[in-house]
């Protein structure tokens, strides 16, 4: 339910605009031109010396900031770090967008009644409305038990998908791993319609989005920005 997700994100923080008004200090007229030029060169060198900035977007989230519930939410729902980065060259032939997340403790063997989803929620066109939910989840959908209505049919299992909020079908991917405390999903750029940049935040859930809010998000306020 994208509108609900958007509403909730806007409520807890400022997505992209409307923050503290920026204070622009006017440069003094006496500043020698050479100093300004040198400053520009220094900034340019700094930008050029940081190639990772265009391919990696990382948020470190506090440990212990899980939603308060009874019984308590286990620490493997607690986001510690979430990251989006690109690999490969510009040809798209070897290109991957890699979504990864680290949680506060290794994920144990889960029961069929447990629901765990690690989400990366994307706004690809800067309008503040979420366009995609990239996710890895543990879920069950059998006649006797369903922990998520859009889970692939079958007993409890891990699956990875991209929920394009403008279309109904869910494509499922096998290019993911769940190893200890780290979850990683690799996607070809065409899985996100070839988008080259997007705003995003991570969320962990113990129930479907239709049924309630996330138990942790990162960053806690606003969005991260990824460019490849
Ligand atoms: Ca956290
Ligand atoms: Ca958080």
Distance from the CA of 182 to the center of ligand 1, in angstroms?
A: 14
Distance from the CA of 213 to the center of ligand 2, in angstroms?
A: 13
Q: Is residue 23 part of a domain?
A: no
Average pLDDT over residues 171-195: 96
Q: What is the structure's pLDDT at 31?
A: 35
Q: What is the structure's pLDDT at 50?
A: 38
Q: Is residue 74 part of a domain?
A: yes
Ligand closest to the CA atom of residue 214: 2
Average pLDDT over residues 80-92: 84
78 pLDDT band, cuts 50/70/90, is: very high
95 pLDDT band, cuts 50/70/90, is: confident
Q: Is residue 64 part of a domain?
A: yes
Q: Is residue 218 part of a domain?
A: yes
Query: From residue 158, how far is each of 24, 43, 50, 180, 181 by CA, in Å?
Result: 50, 45, 36, 14, 15
Q: Is residue 151 part of a domain?
A: yes
Would the pLDDT of 13 be above 70? no
Tell me what the pLDDT averaged over the chain comes to: 81
In terms of residue numbers, what domain contains 159?
55-227
Q: What is the structure's pLDDT at 48?
A: 36
Ligand closest to the CA atom of residue 105: 1
Q: What percentage of the chain carries pLDDT values higher than 90?
A: 69
Q: Which residues surround ligand 2, an ion (CB under 5 A)?
A: 61, 65, 216, 218, 220
Q: Which residues surround ligand 1, an ion (CB under 5 A)?
A: 61, 65, 78-79, 216
Q: Is residue 18 part of a domain?
A: no
pTM beyond 0.75, yes or no: yes
Q: What is the structure's pLDDT at 92?
A: 60
Phi, psi of 45 (to 5 degrees): -65, -40
Q: Is residue 2 part of a domain?
A: no
For 65-77, write each residue's pLDDT tens digit: 999 999 999 999 9
Of 115, 59, 82, nearest in space to 182 by CA: 82
Q: What percentage of the chain carries pLDDT values higher than 70?
A: 74
Q: What is the structure's pLDDT at 39?
A: 43
Distance from the CA of 225 to the center of ligand 2, in angstroms?
A: 17
Distance from the CA of 218 to the center of ligand 2, in angstroms?
A: 4
Distance from the CA of 152 to the center of ligand 2, in angstroms?
A: 28
- DSSP 8-state assignment for residue 21: P
Distance from the CA of 44 to the center of ligand 2, in angstroms?
A: 33
CB atoms closer than 10 angstroms to residue 224: 18
Distance from the CA of 17 to the center of ligand 1, in angstroms?
A: 24
Average pLDDT over residues 210-221: 96
Q: State how many domains the chain has.
A: 1
Q: What is the structure's pLDDT at 168?
A: 86
Task: Say how far apart CA 228 and CA 226 lie, in whole Å.
Answer: 7
Q: Is residue 34 part of a domain?
A: no
Phi, psi of 132 (to 5 degrees): -135, 150
Q: What is the structure's pLDDT at 11?
A: 32
Q: What is the structure's pLDDT at 143?
A: 97
């Amino acid at each position: 339910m994208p509108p609900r997700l958007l509403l909730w994100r806007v409520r807890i923080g400022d997505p992209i605009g409307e923050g503290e008004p920026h204070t622009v200090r006017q440069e003094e007229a006496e500043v020698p031109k050479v100093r300004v030029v040198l400053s520009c060169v220094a900034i340019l060198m700094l930008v050029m010396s940081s190639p990772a900035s265009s391919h990696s977007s990382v948020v470190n989230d506090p440990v212990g900031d899980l939603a308060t519930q009874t019984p308590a939410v286990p620490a493997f729902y607690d986001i510690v770090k979430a990251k989006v980065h690109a690999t490969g060259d510009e040809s798209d032939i070897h290109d991957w967008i890699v979504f990864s997340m680290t949680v506060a403790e290794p994920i144990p063997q889960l029961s069929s009644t447990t629901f765990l989803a690690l989400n990366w929620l994307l706004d690809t066109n800067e309008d503040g409305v979420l366009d995609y939910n990239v996710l890895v989840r543990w879920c069950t959908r059998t006649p006797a038990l369903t922990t998520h209505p859009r889970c692939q049919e079958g007993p409890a299992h891990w699956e990875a998908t991209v929920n394009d909020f403008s279309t109904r079908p869910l494509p499922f991917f096998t290019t993911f791993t769940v190893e200890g405390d780290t979850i990683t999903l690799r996607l070809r750029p065409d899985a996100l319609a070839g988008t080259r940049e997007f705003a995003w935040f991570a969320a962990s859930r113990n129930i479907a989005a239709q049924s309630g809010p996330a138990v942790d998000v990162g960053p806690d306020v606003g969005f991260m920005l990824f460019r490849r």
